Structure 1
Amino acid sequence: MPWRLSVAPMMDWTDRHCRYFHRRFTRRTLLYTEMVTTGAVLRGDRARLLAFHPDERPLALQLGGADPGELAAAARVGREMGFDEINLNVGCPSDRVQSGCFGAALMRTPGLVAECAAAMIAAAGPVPVTVKCRIGVDEQDPAAVLPAFLGTVAGAGVRRFAVHARKAWLEGLSPKENREIPPLDHALVVRMKARFPDLALVVNGGIASLDKAEGFLARGLDGAMIGRAAYHAPALLGAADRRIFGAPGPDVTAEAAVTAMLPYIEAERSRGTPLNAITRHMLGAFQGRPGARAWRRQLSEEAHRPGAGPELVRAALAAIVPRPEPVDPLRRAG
């Protein structure tokens, strides 16, 4: 069950380079694309928008839209391109999303979400269709709205929901503020699991460590989704396979993950990808470690220069102070 831990879809962040880097830390965690609108999938540069490296899997495609026919067509594209899940965005509060009457605005129309989901399920075939939602919007009472929403959409065949445990305010708060100001209500999501035991419920919002993720799993939820913390301090994912999925160690260090990126960087540079398009997602690799500031500064200041490549990453890596090797107390005593 890769959804036991997932990295949230994040606009302008979880592109293919970011996902490839996160995959150096964890083989089992479910990764998501940025939200892609149905219009972009059906009429845009599909190869550029949806391309992914096979190593990124398990990988979910998140779609934004509110037209059942277009969502079905986009889900069919996702199935044909090999995504492991198709997710419908019912949580994004941005102005662009509101103007299209989708994203978090769909919390007001669960019947339409159910219609969209049914069409996507029919088109996606064996690929699971899931929904990422909020606990409510604006003046809605989450304790009443969320169970009604889950029940209606589950009736269309959706078996897994990722629930961002905050309301979204469609007017008065920016997208950034909507990620921080509305209070979290994790307890409501836990109660929904008791009310809908046959649904797989993944909690999102304010989860910044594997300790917190494990805590929600222990409370009966089926998964935890980490957002900004995974981006700003991706090394936390290095222990995910062992702690969340029970895989044998050792855990992946930031040094190992960065080193594993070098062949990928070399290949991407040969195709014309600028180095900073990749390394901008790697700046937080050593968050909290001695040398992290020098690492960030060198990549930020030099990765945009023409010709910059893997050698710059190696040079920046030299600024990181190695962690001391653990000492065997028995050996010391002897």
Structure 2
Amino acid sequence: MEENVAKTDISRASRLSIAPMMDWTDRHCRFLHRQFSRNVLLYTEMVTAPALVRGGALYLLEHSPAEHPVALQLGGSDPDELAQAARLGAEAGYDEINLNVGCPSDRVQSGTFGAVLMKEPALVADCCAAMIAAQPREVTVKCRIGVDDQDPETVLPDFLDRFRQAGVTRVIIHARKAWLQGLSPKENRDVPPLDYDIVHKVKARFGDLHISVNGGIATLEDARAQLAAGLDGVMVGRAAYYNPAAILGPADRVIYGDDVPDRRAEDVVRAMLPYIEAHLAAGGRLHQVARHMLGLFAGRSGARGWRRVLSEGATRPGAGPELVEAALTQVAGVQVG
């Protein structure tokens, strides 16, 4: 098992984190994001506890030592099963185990986990306590401010108090309600209004809890503003995926105060080439990695050409690092060779 990042370092890393996003934040995406920032806390896609415990799908835990600090997000609602899954995650080398209490998809609801658990705070507390007792890594929770017709002013403080009593010390709050019926998961990311104020209120009330905010954070300046307002961390999702150079490139300097130059997209592309070669040598396909690289030059001259060369060529048999280098020639101002 790889040596894990200390809890104090994880707390510092969580000043900025990249949200778990289904079908996006796989191990290739996480490796790419790590090339931009050595500090930012990365999260896996949600992995269900039944898949690990009943299905034996331990391949879902595969990751590179280079990804650390990295957290495993679990979905489930059975305390014993979640405890076993958390133990497997710790044994696999993850630095943190996170419980999903925020995903509103129908598939997640049918499994009685995700945002529907906002209606069962006692069960969530039992799940957290079981996960904490089962293994040595820090257990965190990612939740919403409420679901459906719940009043966040009442529900959210009660939830946080139960988390705290169960032993949880760090929580990520998506600052929107989730509507479990009538809205798709995509609509649940945009339609319910953001309420950052309630997140700031509960931080003031639960000063001992490390609280990060998620939802609608579009720029690094937005993240800095939330930190300056008193929150302990900020979690960024789609903005970091679609334009990682803008969010992650300056992050080590701007968020963590490191005396380092901002990481440029072209430097990250070159850093990815050996990784791509190793992936192909192991039987992988270029598009499995390249699909996460399409937004690297967002907003720059030649970005469209970069995306076109990669998206059209990466799925072809035999496509390799030379295609990535060819795509790089499309970007203005980049020295190739």
Query: Which range, TM-score by smaller chain?
Result: over 0.9
Is the Cα–Cα contact under 8 Å of residues 21 and 261 in structure 1 kept in the other structure?
yes
The question of 1:277 aligning with 2:288 is answered yes
Q: Which residue of 2 aligns with 1:146?
A: 156
Q: Which residue of 2 aligns with 1:29?
A: 40
The structure 2 residue matched to 1:120, chosen from 113, 126, 131, is: 131
For normalisation by structure 1, the TM-score amounts to 0.95
CA deviations on 1:123-170 (whole Å, 9 max, x unpaired) are: 122x10000000000000111111111111211000000000000000
Is the Cα–Cα contact under 8 Å of residues 302 and 332 in structure 2 kept in the other structure?
yes
The structure 2 residue matched to 1:73, chosen from 80, 84, 89, is: 84
The structure 1 residue matched to 2:216, chosen from 200, 206, 231, is: 206
Equivalents in 2 of 1:278, 1:60: separation in Å? 20
Equivalents in 1 of 2:265, 2:169: separation in Å? 35
> Could you tell me the percent identity over the aligned residues?
64
Q: Which residue of 2 aligns with 1:57?
A: 68
Equivalents in 2 of 1:96, 1:287: separation in Å? 33
Q: CA deviation at 1:319?
A: 0.4
The question of 1:222 aligning with 2:232 is answered yes
Q: Which residue of 2 aligns with 1:46?
A: 57
After the TM superposition, which residues 168-179 of structure 1 pair with which residues of structure 2 at under 5 Å, given as runs? 168-179=178-189
Is the Cα–Cα contact under 8 Å of residues 111 and 153 in structure 1 kept in the other structure?
no
CA deviations on 1:59-85 (whole Å, 9 max, x unpaired) are: 000000000000000000011111000
Q: Which residue of 2 aligns with 1:252?
A: 263
Q: CA deviation at 1:44?
A: 3.4
Q: Which one-letter code corresponds to 2:289 in the other structure? A: I
Q: CA deviation at 1:42?
A: 1.6
CA deviations on 1:285-320 (whole Å, 9 max, x unpaired) are: 000110000111111111000100000000000100
Counterparts in 2 of 1:121 and 1:231: CA distance versus 1, 3 Å: same
Is the Cα–Cα contact under 8 Å of residues 52 and 58 in structure 2 kept in the other structure?
no
Q: Which residue of 1 aligns with 2:5?
A: none
The root-mean-square deviation of aligned C-alpha atoms, in Å, is 1.0
Q: Which one-letter code corresponds to 1:62 in the other structure? A: Q
Q: Which one-letter code corresponds to 1:6 in the other structure? A: S
* DSSP 3-state at the match of 1:203: strand
The question of 1:2 aligning with 2:8 is answered no
- Unpaired stretches in structure 1, ≥5 consecutive residues: 325-334
Q: Which one-letter code corresponds to 2:63 in the other structure? A: F
Q: Which residue of 1 aligns with 2:202?
A: 192
Is the Cα–Cα contact under 8 Å of residues 98 and 105 in structure 1 kept in the other structure?
yes
| Worse-matched range after superposition: 315-324 or 6-15 | 315-324
* DSSP 3-state at the match of 1:167: strand
The question of 1:180 aligning with 2:195 is answered no
Equivalents in 2 of 1:207, 1:53: separation in Å? 27
Is the Cα–Cα contact under 8 Å of residues 9 and 34 in structure 1 kept in the other structure?
yes
CA deviations on 1:153-202 (whole Å, 9 max, x unpaired) are: 21100000000000000000000000000000011101111000000000
Q: CA deviation at 1:47?
A: 4.0
Counterparts in 2 of 1:279 and 1:45: CA distance versus 1, 3 Å: farther
- Unpaired stretches in structure 2, ≥5 consecutive residues: 1-11
Q: Which one-letter code corresponds to 1:216 in the other structure? A: Q
Equivalents in 2 of 1:286, 1:124: separation in Å? 41
Equivalents in 1 of 2:330, 2:59: separation in Å? 34
* DSSP 3-state at the match of 1:136: strand
